[in-house]
Structure 1
Amino acid sequence: MSDTTTTEPSTSDSVSNRRIIAAVIISTFFVGFGGGVVFPILPNLGVVLGISAFMVGLILSANRFVRLVANAPAGAFVDRVGTRKPFVIGLVIEGVATFGYVVALLVPDPAPGASILVAFALAPETWFMVARILWGLGSALVFATAYTIAADVSDAGDRGTNMGVVRAGITLGFPAGLVLGGVVSAVYSNATAFIVAALFALLASLIAYLIVPETHVEGGGSTSVKPWDVDLSVPAVTVGVVNFGLYFAYIGALFATLVLFLGANDIAVFGLDAQGTSGIFMAGTVLAAGAMTIAGGRLSDVYGARTPVLVGFLVVSFLGFILLARAGTLFELALSCLFIGAGQGGTSSPLMALLADLTPNERMGRATGTNNVFGDIGGGLGPMVSLPLVEIVGFAPVYAACAVIPLLAGGVLLVGVRTETGTFVPGRSSAKP
């Protein structure tokens, strides 16, 4: 079980744990460049390389589809062998995947009369797809291990803060990659942008290899674990359902429909078109989420309980979608995006800290994997539901309906916590013995 005692750690242990957390943050931030760098580049490359719009969309989404089936096995793998090896391996895989983008640009055109197999092997879309599949496998390992490491080296007094800063590292690497991809590709070349991102990913692997020790199992993990042995306990399912709802609304409603909303309402900043304006709003939303990720975790540590903080940020998310449903001006839209981002970020770290509070240590990998599965299903299903509904009923009803989701998530959270602990507001040290 995760340590929930109030015994003060020694100074040397505290320094060592902070060093480990810092290494995880830096590693996940650097490797995150590869997740974002492809987005500003690939859509424009589609026409040049002869890749259809459908294939471009499939390539960009392939990593999420892979994670849907890889998250649970990754969590079980962590509980079996520990955190160090999967974390480093996952980072290396993501670095290799980013180099795959470079290969996709450099593969020669097949010779006239080449076989179908050769033409397929040399097609740039094949290499981009393989790279994104590898990225999905690597990120499943990195996500499962990063949170588990944070839980392992934390106690009840700093778990929320540590979850927050680790989550911020994971979150902010992606928009940094968006900027890197856009700026470096414009100033130098597409290949240069991919190479820089890949080098940062391999640097992340080196940092993790040199600094991050084994934190999760002793003796190499002798317990046999089946890959499909996901955590279906009340805490894991409760946290997973909340995560599903938040990602469904955040990715599915806001990110998937924002560019359409801007075009329909003729809202723009700096003279940019709907695409450019949506990028600015999404970046602002992500930054708000990153800031509140750290604040939410710290607040739950200081307050001494997770659920009041979680409910508070779920209400912030609710208010954000209500504002979005009524937004008709640039200021109203900006305010709603900041509220939604703050609500999303503010819940993420206390939610993971709560999961660690209530989950035995030997099952934390599975619990994290289960939570990631729920989040990826929500993020993947959201656009499939929201985009058609926007065409049928319009933006305001869809956004108003999404405002209800955080409230429903709050209800699920309170019922699950009460079922597991006997109270709606358990203290940080009220974990199951």
Structure 2
Amino acid sequence: MSERDTSAGADGSGIRGSPRRAVSILTFGYFVGFAGVVVYGPVAAEFEEVLGLSGLLLGLLVAAPQLTGSLLRIPFGAWVDDVGAKKPFAILLGLSVVGMGGLLTILVLAYPDGLTMTHYPLIFVFGSLSGCGIAAFSVGIADTSYWYRSRHRGTMLAIFAGLGTTSPGLFTIVAPFALLYLGLTGTYAAWFLFLLVGTGIFVLYAVDSPYFQFRKRGFDEEAAKARAKENGQELFPGGDAMESIREAATIRRSWLLTAMFFVSFGGYLALTVWYPSYWSNLHGLDVQTAGIVTALAFTLSSPLFRASGGAISDRFGGEETTIASFVVVVIATLALVVTRDLYLAIAATVFLGAGMGIASAAIYQLLPKYVPEAVGGASGLIGGIGGFGGFVVPPILGLFVDVQGVSGYATGFVVYLVLGVVSLAIAGLLYQSRSSTVRSRSPTPADD
């Protein structure tokens, strides 16, 4: 597809935007929305102290953004096939603005002296809304696939996912310093402004892929496809998206891949918000240093490893890469369970982020091999339910702290030790069965 920007001609043959513009604004929008992952994590200690939270309630609070951010990926990703990407993406960012605005209102009216546990349900709800932008992942993945031909698609998908997911790492560094200089209310006021401006920029510059542009001009389906092909689009919506999801849900292999993604990407989401408390409470780091260590050792590094995971999978095979990745996860979490040494914990965290990041990429590389009947639907299930691990696990880690005290921050990693072993078993099962699974199957467009 040509990179030049064109305008609709008198006959409606032109399109607005270009692939580069489209993916640039999609990546920017995802960067803005994905920052909601850490809406509470970097400043969790402040809420923990003011509200007097238990480990369980703290875990639920820091995980709140993942509740909507993961589950909304499924319906909003499917919605793209009906209306294009701009509308679903903008609505998700708008919900994030509402959530952040609600949280800011509570802080303005009640913080610090009037903020009590009676506010906890509202704080949880607004935190969940603030995480809606996380769900834009599935929207952006679909739209990027429509804008780019197969020879460039993999690279552009990696750029979208890799650069977009760097925002939690940057915010994990910035938020504690903002808390120091602006206070809690000032920090969220700045975040609200960032979201509001970012959403406005997205709405102003985002463009749907050519097929949807022509449909909105009144072309019927076949004419819209023909015009879109003339403008370089080669991939189109494959029919009823929700039916594809339902079909994928009936296939056992979809759930095996989802289970592994629950551990890899869900683990990345969960530990991104949990690590600041881990470094502060177990290793005695101040809030600012804990944010920097979390970002550099895990939240920023893991997406970089993930960006290389596709190429590694193509070179060595998705099954082999997944097995090796989960071996790294198991070894790293074992080290985190037993060590109380700061530097060894940092090293183990880097390896854990590498294992989770590369595994996440390898799982999507395996998807078209094992679920060719419903690639789109399985992608929604894996991304949505798999990412839900970011919400489920932090409260469990909090229970370890409630039962064991500070040492529970270390022993809680046994959760990912067990999940890593289970994922390793699943990856081994896929490796053993791959010859019969892929026999006589021709490549699909999703293999590109």
TM-score category, normalised to shorter length: 0.7 to 0.9
**What TM-score, normalized to structure 2?**
0.71
Shift of 1:242: 1.6
1:142-181 to structure 2, matched below 5 A, reads 142-181=136-175
Specify whether residues 21 and 418 from structure 1 end up closer, same or farther in structure 2 by C-alpha distance, changes over 3 A only. Answer: farther
Compared CA separation, residues 52 and 332, structure 1 to 2 (3 A): closer
Residue correspondence of structure 1 range 178-257 to structure 2 within 5 A? 178-215=172-209, 218=212, 219=215, 229-230=245-246, 231-232=248-249, 233=251, 236-247=254-265
- Alpha carbons of structure 1 residues 259 and 51: separation in structure 2 relative to 1, 3 Å: closer
Coordinate RMSD, CA, aligned: 4.5
2:26 is aligned, of 9, 24, 27, to 24
In the alignment of these two chains, the number of paired residues is: 401
**1:149–1:305 distance in 2 versus 1, CA, 3 Å:** farther
1:374 maps to 385
Three-state SS of the structure 2 residue aligned to 1:32 is helix
Work out which of the residue numbers 27, 37, 40 in structure 2 matches 1:38: 40
**Unmatched 5+ stretches in structure 2:** 6-16, 217-236
Query: Within 5 A, what are the aligned runs for 1:7-406?
Result: 10=2, 12=4, 16-41=18-43, 43-45=45-47, 48=50, 58-67=60-69, 69-107=71-109, 124-125=119-120, 127-140=122-135, 142-215=136-209, 218=212, 219=215, 229-230=245-246, 231-232=248-249, 233=251, 236-247=254-265, 267=283, 272=285, 279-283=291-295, 284-300=297-313, 303=315, 306-324=318-336, 327=339, 329-355=341-367, 364=376, 366-383=377-394, 395=411, 400-406=417-423
Instruction: Give the drift of 1:309.
Output: 4.1
- On the 8 A contact 1:95/1:198 being kept in 2, the answer is yes
Distance 1:44 1:223, change over 3 A: same
How many Å separate the matches in 2 of 1:205 and 1:417? Answer: 44
Distance in 1 of aligned mates of 2:416 and 2:59:
24
| CA apart distance, 1:138 | 4.3
Q: Distance in 1 between matches of 2:171 and 2:269?
A: 18
Shift of 1:292: 0.8
Aligned twin of 2:222: none
Match of 1:6 in 2: none
Choose from 392, 396, 407 the match for 2:424.
407
Q: 1:202 to 1:187 in 2, by over 3 A?
A: same
Taking a change above 3 Å as real, the CA distance of residues 338 and 84 of structure 1, as seen in their structure-2 partners, is same
Q: Indicate conservation of the 8 Å contact 1:151/1:163, yes or no.
A: yes
**Does the aligned pair in 2 maintain the 1:235–1:417 contact within 8 Å?**
no
Name the CA shift for 1:257/1:371 in 2 (closer, same or farther; >3 Å).
Answer: same
Contact in 2 for aligned 1:38/1:178 (Cα 8 Å): no
In structure 1, the gaps of 5 or more residues are 1-8, 110-118
The residue number in structure 2 matching 1:113 is none
TM-score by length of 1: 0.73
Conserved? CA contact 1:97–1:135, under 8 Å: yes
Question: In 1, Cα distance between the equivalents of 2:373 and 2:85?
Answer: 12
Partners in 2 of 1:59 and 1:41 — Cα distance? 11
Between the aligned partners of 2:243 and 2:146, the Cα distance in structure 1 is 21
**Change in 2 beyond 3 A, CA 1:234/1:159:** farther
Contact 1:165 1:293 in 2 (8 A): no
Measured after TM superposition, the shift of residue 318 of structure 1 is 3.8
Shift of 1:289: 0.2
1:188 Cα deviation after fit: 2.3
Deviation for aligned residue 1:19: 2.9
Residues 315-324 or 98-107, more deviating: 315-324
Q: Which amino acid aligns with 2:163?
A: G
User: Helix, strand or coil: the match of 2:263?
Assistant: helix
Query: What's the CA shift string for 1:179-209, capped at 9, x where partnerless?
Result: 3322223212333322322222233323433
CA offset at residue 243 of structure 1? 0.2
Deviation sequence 1:159-179 (CA, Å, 0-9, x none):
443333222234321232233
Q: Is the 8 A contact 2:263 2:416 kept in 1?
A: no
Identity across the alignment (%): 21
- 2:59 touches 2:397 (CA, 8 Å); kept in 1? no
1-side partners of 2:28 and 2:338: how far apart?
Answer: 39
Change (3 A) 1:175 1:235: same
